[in-house]
Chains A and B, each alone.
Chain A
Amino acid sequence: GESVGLHLPTLSVQEGDNSIINCAYSNSASDYFIWYKQESGKGPQFIIDIRSNMDKRQGQRVTVLLNKTVKHLSLQIAATQPGDSAVYFCAENRSGGSYIPTFGRGTSLIVHP
């Protein structure tokens, strides 16, 4: 299940299950969104991105859904593996010339074998 911890929301799943990580973004003018995975002691790693003219994009085992009406972004991971355990961040780029991505709070995904 999903719970809000002291620092990071945490999602615990069993190996082989599908995972859904959610992100609420702040600015309706944002037009580019990115999901990153960050393992302990490492920098964020790019997973998948989506532009605001799309509502869904698929990669290898991952799907990003964008709902602009409610300013919501989700990352779906199929057949979750222990190696997927990490902190996941969404980031938004705002239109109108701003090039600085704003990172969300992050969700800790724990995959139990």
Chain B
Amino acid sequence: GAGVSQSPRYKVAKRGQDVALRCDPISGHVSLFWYQQALGQGPEFLTYFQNEAQLDKSGLPSDRFFAERPEGSVSTLKIQRTQQEDSAVYLCASSLAIRDQPQHFGDGTRLSIL
């Protein structure tokens, strides 16, 4: 389909392992956002890209979290030395413009750290 695609849908890792989560935004969408969603909560902002530029990473909880979008389309969120508190659903969203446009979300990656 033409929506935002995230992979994998589920990821189980042992504490201390590194993980990489992928997001394929809608073609032509300039803006790309990563969110973390805990059970029963709304999405919490992690980081934002405009094309390939990471303009805001103020929501990343620690320096173990790293995101990139090298060619302005596909984005990867990497978590190094995972901890149990990293367990959550990680959502990616894209939109046409920088602001005041609805975001289109993927179905997320559910990350479980054992």
Contact = CB atoms under 8 A, between A and B. Distances in A.
A and B: real partners? yes
Interface of A: 7-8, 31-32, 34, 36, 41-46, 49, 51, 89, 91, 93, 98-106
12 contacts: A31-B100, A32-B99, A34-B102, A42-B107, A44-B103, A46-B104, A100-B45, A100-B59, A101-B103, A102-B45, A105-B41, A105-B42
B111 to A, nearest CB: 14
Contacts of B43: 44, 89, 103
Contacts of B33: 100
Contacts of B107: 41-43
A103 to B, nearest CB: 3
Nearest to B92: A43
B42 A45 contact: no
Contacts of B59: 100
